[in-house]
Amino acid sequence: MGSTTLTTRSRWLQSKDEWTQDEWDWFWMGPFDGGIPGMVRRVRRILDVSQRGLAALIGVSQSVVARWETGRTSPRASVMADLLRRARLTVTIHDEDDQEVGPMRDDGARRVNGSRFPAHVDLRVHGWWVPRDVHSTMVEFYRWQRRSREQREPMVGYRRRRWVREIERDIWGAPDDHPSLEQCAAEAQAQEERRAA
């Protein structure tokens, strides 16, 4: 070793007295930027299995695991979740303010045909559901409205124009999630009570 290397190493060792806790964690544990390939290797290490053994556990070939570990391909999210579960690991996602971010709820309000609303829109309740072509007679309109109230099926919609949505979010803020059907029905009931008052 040259004298330059020794001098650099001694300065580095002297500076350790001023390290932060994060720097010490990095020093002892190593960098955590291995991404998916590094996590697959970590799972394999925790489970104490070879590539072939991990492949047999999850029902893929050894070459698939090798491609995951070299970064040529990545496992599907469901496969990655299975790997983490087997290694007794959990994943949490945090935003830039270190607040935990969870998945969107599964019981969110849906369209009349049962399909989900787009995830990026903010839902609004417009009262009880009435088909569009029923406005011909008031008797039929109120019959549909009563049926919707009894079955707790509110009319839910959203703004299609992005600029309108941005203005509403500036005023009221962006909701974290779509409301559940029960929440929408309660809102429709409250709207009806406000109109009656």
pTM over 0.75: no
pLDDT score at 35 = 80
pLDDT score at 63 = 93
pLDDT score at 85 = 92
pLDDT score at 51 = 92
Indicate the fold that domain 3-100 takes in CATH: 434 Repressor (Amino-terminal Domain) (1.10.260)
User: What's the average pLDDT block by block, 10 residues per block, for the chain (197 residues)?
Assistant: 49 62 59 72 92 93 91 87 91 84 81 82 85 73 84 85 86 83 87 84
pLDDT score at 31 = 45
CA atoms within 13 A on the CB side of 101: 8
Give me the residue spans of the domains in the chain.
3-100, 123-196
